[in-house]
């Protein structure tokens, strides 16, 4: 089995809450890996996988909400500076695809949870990396444009 997945700035999008949730999802994946390596029975593993699923659901809801707020111009920044118009346009262009990707990602997570234990950890890691780097590239670009 491989090593636990470590946090890297490549997973960050530049939004404090979203990045914190990415870390929590990564930690949940590592908890699943540790349980599998420790020979956990299904009764011990099921709550860990459920915790991961719930964290992913909350994270996707929050990402969708932030993206919607940017799209509609209601996003509250810490600074009093107005959002650059381009960020709303970027969010508008990305919103439908991004929310659809979240639905697909949850379905993929459910499939992974039913996979044989030997394949589950690597699939979870790939799932997370795909989300944090590939799918969230839109968000990262938007937050970079806002800074």
How many domains is the chain built from? 1
Distance CA 38, CA 42 (A): 12
Model confidence, pTM: 0.89
Distance CA 71, CA 58 (A): 20
* Cα–Cα–Cα angle for 26, 109, 49, rounded to 5 degrees: 60
Residue 1 falls within a domain, yes or no? no
- DSSP secondary structure code for residue 2 in this structure: -
Residue 42: which CATH number?
1.20.120
Q: What is the pLDDT of residues 67-115, one digit of tens each?
A: 888 888 888 766 656 666 777 777 777 888 889 999 999 999 999 999 9
SS3 category, 134 = helix
Residue 8 falls within a domain, yes or no? no
Both tokens of 1, joined, read 């089995």
pLDDT at position 56 over 70: yes
Q: What are phi and psi of 36, to 5 degrees?
A: -65, -45
pLDDT at position 21 over 60: yes
Residue 73 falls within a domain, yes or no? yes
Residue 123 falls within a domain, yes or no? yes
DSSP string, 65-94: HHHHHHHHT-PPPSSSPPPPHHHHHHHHHH
Residue 4 falls within a domain, yes or no? no
At residue 101, the pLDDT reads 93
Residue 78 falls within a domain, yes or no? yes
Residue that is written with structure tokens 């939004």 in the block: 15
Residue 86 falls within a domain, yes or no? yes
Residue 2 falls within a domain, yes or no? no
Residue range of the domain that includes 83: 16-146
């Amino acid at each position: 089995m491989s090593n636990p997945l470590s946090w890297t700035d490549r997973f960050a999008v530049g939004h404090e809450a979203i990045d914190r949730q990415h870390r929590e999802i990564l930690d949940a994946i590592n908890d699943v890996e540790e349980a599998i390596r420790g020979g956990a029975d299904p009764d011990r593993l099921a709550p860990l996988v459920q915790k991961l699923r719930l964290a992913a659901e909350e994270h996707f809801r929050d990402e969708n909400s932030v993206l919607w707020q940017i799209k509609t111009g209601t996003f509250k920044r810490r600074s009093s500076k107005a959002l650059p118009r381009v960020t709303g346009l970027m969010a508008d262009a990305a919103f439908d695809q991004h929310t659809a990707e979240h639905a697909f990602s949850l379905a993929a997570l459910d499939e992974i949870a039913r996979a044989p234990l030997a394949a589950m950890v690597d699939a979870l890691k790939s799932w997370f990396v795909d989300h944090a780097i590939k799918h969230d590239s839109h968000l990262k670009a938007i937050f970079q444009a806002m800074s």
